[in-house]
Amino acid sequence: MKLIKFKQDNCTPCKMLDGFLNEMGVEVDQVVNLSNPESDDDLILAGKYAIEKTPTLILINDNGSEIQRFKGVGQNGVKSILARRGLI
């Protein structure tokens, strides 16, 4: 499994989510900054998963298929998703 986080630089909820993830000791496998994409691959990935808002966390399997998605910010929701998947 792989955890991908989509964020933007000027996004306060994105910063809050970063804090929650740090507090829980969760490592994100890939961060895609839509304000300043590192490559065209970042934009292609955002299109593939139809990212409509940030922050968005997507848990994918080894084949790249989406297992679960969490949009926005909410510590309890994020914690619940990650706990069910054994990531915390």
Q: Is residue 48 part of a domain?
A: yes
Q: Is residue 79 part of a domain?
A: yes
Per the structure, the complete domain to which residue 55 belongs is given by 7-84
Q: Is residue 2 part of a domain?
A: no
Give the domain CATH number at 62: 3.40.30.10
Nearest-CA neighbor of 30 among 57, 70, 11, 69?
A: 57
Q: What is the pTM of this model?
A: 0.86
Q: Is residue 40 part of a domain?
A: yes
Nearest-CA neighbor of 57 among 21, 1, 2, 4?
A: 4
What letter represents residue 33's amino acid?
N
pLDDT in 10s for each residue of the chain, 88 residues: 899 999 999 999 999 998 888 888 888 999 999 998 888 999 999 999 999 999 999 999 989 899 989 888 776 777 877 787 777 7
Distance CA 84, CA 39 (A): 32
Residues 53-62 as b/e (b if ≥16 CB within 10 A, e otherwise) read ebbbbbbbee
Sign of CA dihedral 47, 50, 52, 58: negative
Beta-carbon contacts of 72 under 8 Å, excluding residues fewer than 6 positions away, are 13, 53, 55
Question: How many structural domains are present in the chain?
Answer: 1
Q: Is residue 1 part of a domain?
A: no
